[in-house]
Structure 1
């Protein structure tokens, strides 16, 4: 089978894996650009990605709703300044319906592998059930936070009670009057712990590393405010611009040379001193690493929930899990009915467990054995016509990832259109371009707070930061404004 020779967009087949912000945003823009031979593969039965999966009590976003949405589809009915997971999922479902994307989605289809055929310029794709597909372009929109990470604890499989990860919340299990243990104190835990602390009989919170938590400037929009946004959409656009500009300025706090972290440190200290009066307990909740080195969390209820009489914070490491509970390093057994893992995601294991095979039989897993890297977080040398959304080094510590995704979507669509215009079979990123780009990123990373000696989900076990973008988002948009063909090896279609 040869690649379609027509320059018509209609003949180009595009495979997209995932239906979160990345997959849906790309699909909508492809449709607007005149492409209709695209298919989204979704392992679940509905769109929404991380916002479909994370339904734990209190799940919400830490970026304001007006900014955490597509620029071309601004929701005018947000109930809160910060959207709940249910609201955001509903927003993504609305986008899929409004732009008629659902007919392009193949639900309940998990992709197991994809192999590039250089002779035909085709990606040969296979699902976990053995279904086979072909496409000229393959785009992974699986994100960085889709695979729950479970801690490596001795005896974890022996526990006889109920155990689940916060990203796979079991709503049928009644926590009321139960003895519960929560392992982890990250972004998810600080949202669901205050909710479940109200109903459980007793809650043990196992804290390996205390987080920096500052107040969340959230509020419910009044009916009058919501009506004003609906009648005058320009008000929401202006608020979006303000939120973007403010968040962009926050980046200065994450660089050593322009360090504004003392202001955030002051907010943290004021918040914890106001909520936690006992100096001994406050000391127990103090992080042991520089502020900004890990994700700074926002919550108005975290510390309040920890001083409840039915809650105990345990700083001792866990020795093992038994059939009935958890044993700490001091040998103390605390028996529980349920364990909830608030241990985050396998964020540095990009694309796993899929096997993506490029030129010369090389897999992404082999190429990334020292940590994932890509040019602009989008393309990888040796993997032609393959793109990623929210790929390596495109995560943010200061602004909205949706803005980054829209920048990536522009680049991908320009790349596909360039292929058609130039009658190319495929393009492959030049190895030196990828190497130079990643040397630049890792060098710039050294002058950020993320590289100041702490372990975080941004880093591999060896300490390489594979997740964050070290610059401003407007710099990233400028660098992705067009598909820079000169950085790619070009293979033309051979006419018969």
Structure 2
């Protein structure tokens, strides 16, 4: 539903901010419980989060479909091993329809401010549709919602079109343009082969080349699709995929032969697909594999060997009107600049709009990098839970499994609040500090802190703040069950007669 403005506060038990995988998953759990009233705030005009925003040519997931979907939903009829972006968005839209979530979702309703009121033990939310009072706040804005554009000298003077991959428009290109792509990360390797098909010339600006392994996507046969629509079969496939993916964590620890095998696979893929010795050398990373996300593609390298594609092995430094200059000194005349430059992941802008106890701004609390307890709760922010936030992602397995673990944790907290009659739960500063120290200890020997600089690491503190430094299964074992012992509990108020006021 599209939100209209009202000055009368809406009072709910739970306010969820964001209608991507995490927000829709949380709403599904609450709708099925039918125990708490709730509302989902979504600033855009549709649900889907990352998969709504990213519509560039070639957009797809690099996690198999049966693992990149909810375990608590009937298995979807996926056509391919790896789902396309549009398929994922339709899956989320179908979830909203099947679970009856639409009446709870306010589209076009962004969160302006959220403030914890200690007197009423409620969150006071200011939104584009009016005020909301919520006992519990669930932040589900994710890590891939705010596009990052690097500071490039003169970019504002560019006479052509500048577009971030997360802000793609279908009418952007008509064919025959001179296109520059900035970046060679996950989005870039997907979009570059498609852009090359219609461009007069394509220039790829690469600060650091990626490690790429074969994607090996395929279509399921009709018989396979029928078999995988059976819940028990789909669940068995999901479990096998989860455990197989978790085996890759040994690579991130730098264990042998794990890391040697995946490095050999990536470099072998490069040597098989790139014949030019000079291009092959430019595409050979000088950092340890796994430090940055390992990419999946069968057509990225062959595209770079085309005569109308230029691989510029340095970053875009400056722009003067239509002329783009690389750090190397090479210049290119361009009509379109595609920024495949990622997101503001380690310092989420939404944190500046949330005030906890004593007016503490979440962004200030995270000034030295995101911290939490159980990757879900934050000291000083009672009755608030963050999904897909600090140390809740993986570089080798499914984000949806991680989100589901957090959903179980939040549901456990809601059960505790209801069953104990407590007014609020707030994780202690000591528990948060101990968990942060645990994360730092586990992360110290991983490739993320020893192999290179990456977006997984906070640029200020140098801490690993985005990824869980372990397997998906170990995250569930550590953080899948709510335990009230590390929390400060605000008990229910009673009057002199023993009655709840």
Taking structure 2 as the reference length, what is the TM-score of the superposition?
0.94
3-state SS of the aligned residue for 1:188?
A: helix
Query: Equivalents in 2 of 1:146, 1:354: separation in Å?
Result: 15
Task: Judge conservation of contact 2:12–2:133 (CA < 8 Å) in 1.
Answer: no
The answer for the alignment partner of 1:449 in structure 2 is: 447
Query: Equivalents in 2 of 1:494, 1:62: separation in Å?
Result: 50
The answer for the alignment partner of 1:173 in structure 2 is: 172
Of the structure 1 ranges 28-37 and 53-62, higher mean CA displacement relative to structure 2 is found in 28-37
Rate the CA distance shift 1:360–1:233 in 2: closer, same or farther, 3 A.
Answer: closer
Deviation at 1:278, TM superposition (A): 1.3
Query: Equivalents in 1 of 2:332, 2:273: separation in Å?
Result: 27
Deviation at 1:183, TM superposition (A): 0.5
Deviation at 1:12, TM superposition (A): 5.7
1:421-448: CA deviation from partner (whole Å, max 9, x where unpaired): 1111111111010001101101110111
Task: Judge conservation of contact 1:382–1:428 (CA < 8 Å) in 2.
Answer: yes
Query: Equivalents in 1 of 2:474, 2:294: separation in Å?
Result: 23
Query: Equivalents in 2 of 1:155, 1:460: separation in Å?
Result: 27
Instruction: State whether structure 2 residue 78 is matched by structure 1 residue 45.
Output: no
Deviation at 1:130, TM superposition (A): 7.0
Task: Judge conservation of contact 1:320–1:327 (CA < 8 Å) in 2.
Answer: yes
The answer for the alignment partner of 2:466 in structure 1 is: 467
3-state SS of the aligned residue for 1:69?
A: coil
Instruction: State whether structure 2 residue 417 is matched by structure 1 residue 385.
Output: no
Query: Equivalents in 2 of 1:46, 1:319: separation in Å?
Result: 36
Query: Equivalents in 2 of 1:256, 1:446: separation in Å?
Result: 12
User: Which consecutive residues of structure 2, in runs of 5 or more, have no partner in the other structure?
Assistant: 1-10, 495-500
Equivalent residue in structure 2 for 1:236, among 229, 234, 237: 234
Deviation at 1:259, TM superposition (A): 5.7
User: Which consecutive residues of structure 1, in runs of 5 or more, have no partner in the other structure?
Assistant: 1-10
Rate the CA distance shift 1:317–1:63 in 2: closer, same or farther, 3 A.
Answer: closer
Task: Judge conservation of contact 1:166–1:340 (CA < 8 Å) in 2.
Answer: yes
Query: Equivalents in 1 of 2:12, 2:39: separation in Å?
Result: 11
Instruction: State whether structure 2 residue 476 is matched by structure 1 residue 477.
Output: yes
The answer for the alignment partner of 1:279 in structure 2 is: 277
1:250-276: CA deviation from partner (whole Å, max 9, x where unpaired): 111111346611111111121111111
Query: Equivalents in 2 of 1:213, 1:473: separation in Å?
Result: 22
Deviation at 1:417, TM superposition (A): 1.4
Give the number of aligned pairs. 484
Instruction: State whether structure 2 residue 204 is matched by structure 1 residue 205.
Output: yes
3-state SS of the aligned residue for 2:132?
A: strand
Task: Judge conservation of contact 1:76–1:226 (CA < 8 Å) in 2.
Answer: no
Query: Equivalents in 2 of 1:481, 1:397: separation in Å?
Result: 19
Query: Equivalents in 2 of 1:286, 1:159: separation in Å?
Result: 31
Query: Equivalents in 2 of 1:282, 1:386: separation in Å?
Result: 49
Query: Equivalents in 1 of 2:137, 2:78: separation in Å?
Result: 34
Deviation at 1:318, TM superposition (A): 2.8
3-state SS of the aligned residue for 1:454?
A: coil
Rate the CA distance shift 1:42–1:381 in 2: closer, same or farther, 3 A.
Answer: same
Deviation at 1:175, TM superposition (A): 4.4
Query: Equivalents in 2 of 1:490, 1:25: separation in Å?
Result: 27
Equivalent residue in structure 2 for 1:348, among 343, 346, 359: 346
Rate the CA distance shift 1:195–1:451 in 2: closer, same or farther, 3 A.
Answer: same
Trace 1:17-166 onto structure 2 (pairs within 5 A): 17-127=17-127, 129=128, 131-166=130-165
